[in-house]
């Protein structure tokens, strides 16, 4: 039996509610693989779930994404072998651990051109960017897109990839320092949304035009003004709530703002099917291998410092991706 160190949450609340504990992993079931994690990805959904904004049955583990080495395979697993480098982002919560059993059909093989840290930093966020840019709306050359939180983990990938697709990319961020990061990530223009007049700055930046698509992961603080930045018949994609849930609106407001479309998508349905997951991951890994998408790892924390990792994320002092190294 393998003894794993893992993070457990007994009740929802602040970062201090998380505890590192040990547990005995069960014998591998049919279709399962045992992994030794080498790098664990942090995503803001982990905060939402820890706080209870996205409720989980308690007690629970946390974390959706990790890269690692196959230690052993269970009955019926023939596509992976011990020693293989693999990653996952949708095997159920519990990635905050040094060892873990996961279903083999949730795994993707990491190509030699991609490091474990790149995979852990980019798989969840990169697959989020992939469906936003390729599925929610197929971004085309010449389109204007607005990306909120452009200096964040997903935001930087969105900006890099969208620029590679030929879009005119406007990013927003909460500080001038983060605006610089957003420009380095490919934004044609970066705007500080701590200035209340930022919607006017967005329209001015694009020569008086509004955005064909607005990607909003901030929520409460930006959502209503996002509607003012969207072109007639344009699309507002609300895919996160870093500042809190977006306010409820009367659907008629979308008509008044220009017959807008509004969607609230998620990465998980787009990657629920193993074949779709691996095809989407191959698209992402190709973008990484070609240099179109790069990993900016802003911080690394040990598993024992998981409270500090969450505290840093909530205080918005981190930039780019955060990794947890077991």
3-state secondary structure 78-119: CCCCCCCEEEECCCCCCCCECEEEEEHHHCEECCCCCCHHHH
Arithmetic mean of pLDDT over the chain: 94
Predicted confidence (pLDDT) per residue in 88-99, tens digit: 998 999 999 999
**For residue 103, what pLDDT is reported?**
97
- Please state the rounded mean pLDDT for residues 19-31: 96
- Neighbour-count burial of 258, counting CB atoms closer than 10 A to its CB (0-12 exposed, 13-18 middle, 19+ buried): middle
Nearest to 93 by CA among 173, 182, 6, 203: 6
Alpha-carbon distance values, 305 to 157, 209, 300, 309 (Å): 26, 46, 10, 6
Per-residue pLDDT for 318 more than 80?
Answer: no
Find the distance separating the first CA and the last CA of the chain, reported in whole Å.
Answer: 19
**For residue 17, what pLDDT is reported?**
97
- What is d(CA 281, CA 275) in angstroms, rounded to the nearest whole number? 10
**For residue 153, what pLDDT is reported?**
84
Per-residue pLDDT for 228 more than 90?
Answer: yes
- What is d(CA 279, CA 136) in angstroms, rounded to the nearest whole number? 16
Predicted confidence (pLDDT) per residue in 126-181, tens digit: 999 999 999 999 999 999 999 999 988 899 999 999 999 999 999 999 999 999 99
Predicted confidence (pLDDT) per residue in 272-303, tens digit: 999 999 999 999 999 999 999 988 888 999 99
**For residue 76, what pLDDT is reported?**
96
Instruction: Give me the domains of the chain, ranges plus CATH numbers.
Output: 3-122+274-325 (3.90.180.10), 141-264 (3.40.50.720)
Residue with tokens 């890099």: 160
Contact 295, 287 (CB under 8 A): no
Contact 213, 145 (CB under 8 A): yes
**For residue 25, what pLDDT is reported?**
96
Predicted confidence (pLDDT) per residue in 46-61, tens digit: 998 999 988 999 999 9
**For residue 317, what pLDDT is reported?**
73
Q: Kindly report the backbone phi and psi dihedral angles of residue 297, in degrees, each rounded to the nearest multiple of 5, phi listed first.
A: -90, 110
Reported as a pLDDT band with limits 50, 70 and 90, residue 243 is confident
Contact 105, 73 (CB under 8 A): no
Helix or strand or coil: residue 240? coil
**For residue 198, what pLDDT is reported?**
95
pTM of the model: 0.88
Name every residue whose Cβ is closer than 8 Å to that of residue 195 and which is 6 or more positions away in sequence.
201
- Please state the rounded mean pLDDT for residues 261-269: 95
Per-residue pLDDT for 120 more than 80?
Answer: yes
Per-residue pLDDT for 86 more than 80?
Answer: yes
**For residue 301, what pLDDT is reported?**
97
- Looking at the chain, the whole-number percentage of residues with pLDDT higher than 70 is 99
- Please state the rounded mean pLDDT for residues 31-59: 94
Name every residue whose Cβ is closer than 8 Å to that of residue 57 and which is 6 or more positions away in sequence.
none
């Amino acid at each position: 039996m393998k003894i794993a160190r893992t993070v457990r949450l007994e009740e929802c609340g602040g970062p201090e509610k998380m505890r590192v504990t040990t547990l005995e992993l069960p014998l591998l079931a049919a279709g399962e693989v045992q992994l030794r994690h080498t790098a664990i990805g942090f995503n803001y959904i982990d905060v939402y779930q820890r706080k209870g904004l996205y409720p989980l049955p308690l007690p629970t583990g946390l974390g959706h994404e990790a890269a690692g080495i196959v230690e052993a395979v269970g009955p019926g697993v023939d596509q992976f072998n011990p020693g293989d480098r693999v990653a996952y982002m949708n095997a159920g919560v519990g990635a905050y651990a040094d060892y873990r059993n996961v279903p083999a059909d949730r795994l993707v093989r990491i190509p030699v051109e991609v490091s474990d840290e790149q995979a852990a930093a980019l798989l969840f966020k990169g697959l989020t960017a992939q469906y936003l840019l390729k599925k929610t709306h197929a971004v085309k050359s010449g389109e204007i897109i607005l990306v909120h939180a452009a200096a964040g983990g997903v935001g930087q990938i969105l900006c890099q990839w969208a620029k590679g697709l030929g879009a005119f990319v406007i990013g927003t961020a909460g500080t001038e320092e983060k605006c610089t990061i957003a420009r380095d990530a490919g934004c044609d223009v970066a705007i500080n949304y701590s200035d209340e007049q930022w919607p006017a700055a967005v329209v001015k930046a694009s020569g008086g035009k509004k955005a064909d698509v607005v990607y909003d992961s901030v929520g409460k603080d930006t959502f209503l003004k996002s509607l003012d930045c969207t072109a007639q018949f344009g699309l507002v994609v609300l895919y996160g709530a870093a500042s809190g849930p977006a306010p409820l609106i009367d659907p008629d407001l979308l008509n008044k703002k220009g017959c807008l479309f509004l969607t609230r998508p998620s990465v998980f349905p787009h990657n629920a099917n193993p074949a779709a997951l691996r095809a989407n991951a191959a698209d992402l890994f190709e973008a990484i291998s070609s240099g179109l998408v790069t990993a900016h790892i802003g911080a690394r924390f040990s598993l024992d410092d998981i409270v500090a990792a969450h505290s840093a994320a909530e205080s918005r002092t981190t930039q780019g991706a955060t990794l947890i190294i077991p």
